[in-house]
Amino acid sequence: MAIFRSASGEGGTEVVLAAGNPYGSRTLVVERDEDSSVAYLCSPDGTVHGAVWLANHRPAPLVVDLARINAGRPPLMPRPNTLHPDGRRPLGQLSPLWFEEGDGVALYEDDELLAVIPGWADMSRGMPGYARDAVGESPFAWALSEALEGLRPRISNARSYWRWRHGEGSWPSFQQFVMGHLDGVLGPAGRYWDASGERLPTVGITERPPHGERGFTVLSTVGMSCQRMPTVEQWIDRPGAYARVELAVATRDDPRDAALLLVWLCQYPWHSVTWLGHGHTAKWYHEPETFPLGPQYSGVLMQANPPHMPDMSGFAFGGEAVRWLWLSPITVQAMQAHQHPS
């Protein structure tokens, strides 16, 4: 069956809502024509990652109207799969609530939950989002009522998180919390750099000069763990143990060079809708000769608790432990060997 797609204003279709997530990596687009309404979860290049039918505005057909779908128009839900087989009025006031990770969204109509497109929605695998007016499972929507038990905590957490995050003093208090933890495990702070510019998530970099028996400088991000990384639950059985990270790097050379690695990666999970974990590698995005730690390297390997590095454990946020991933430079050959073990 064809995947229904955004009609982008053609054939009498109008966009009634377009709302981006706080990280600029996903946009929720709601379209309608005189017959039906549908919501799409899109990336900035227009790729549709999830889509869910919302409502029929005229009597439902008995079976799927394939010609309508192939024309790129919002689908009509067949009669057996809608709570309103005779159709319903146009949608009321719409408002989105983004998941903390930014990869999923709940859509409200007049303050009542209308639909959810989670991060794991995938039209190509027959996994649309969840709609209040849907019955059972169809290619266009799954019944929201049957998924609410699992989705309700996510939605509640999202509402609480953004209420806190937009509150006065939330970032300074979090920043002080992390810095205090690092004071205890690494000693006094040196310089501090903002690494986020004008874009969320807000992340800084703290420099910790040699201290005590530690003869090298440690640089750490401050702020990555303030929001969960996207897509972790699609790969890990216990996402709560892996969803919050900070990055660290050790150096005996100019700390500003090593800091560039953290600037490069600190917002990556939210802008690219992915996650970082132990054993992951990242290839330097620029010409090899510009790699901050030397042109012989081409990227980094991430490791939790590598030998001979300070123990950074003991910090938690949102009831979840934060893991520090240490970056070490690796060559092209080492990266290939790591990605394709023999």
User: Following DSSP, what letter does each residue of 34-75 receive, concatenated?
Assistant: SSEEEEEEE-TT--EEEEEEEEESSPPPSS--HHHHHTTPPP
Q: Quick one: tokens of 134?
A: 């849907």
Q: What percent of the chain has pLDDT over 90?
A: 77
- Tens digit of each residue's pLDDT (9 = 90 or more) over 208-237: 999 999 999 999 999 999 999 999 888 877
pLDDT above 60: residue 5: no
Cα–Cα dist 231/239, whole Å: 9
Q: What is the DSSP letter of 78?
A: P
Rounded mean pLDDT of 140-155?
95
- What CA–CA distance (Å, rounded) separates 255 from 253? 6
pLDDT score of 337 more than 60: yes
Residue 38: exposure state from Cβ atoms within 10 A (0-12, 13-18, ≥19): buried
Please state, in angstroms and rounded to a whole number, the distance separating the CA atoms of residues 194 and 192. Answer: 7
Question: Cα 7 to the chain's mean position, in Å?
Answer: 25
Which amino acid belongs to residue 140? Answer: F
| For range 294-305, the mean pLDDT | 93
pLDDT at residue 312 greater than cutoff 70: yes
In tens, the pLDDT along 128-138 reads 999 999 999 99
For the chain, the average pLDDT equals: 92
For 281: left if phi > 0, alpha if psi spans -120 to 50, otherwise beta; the answer is beta
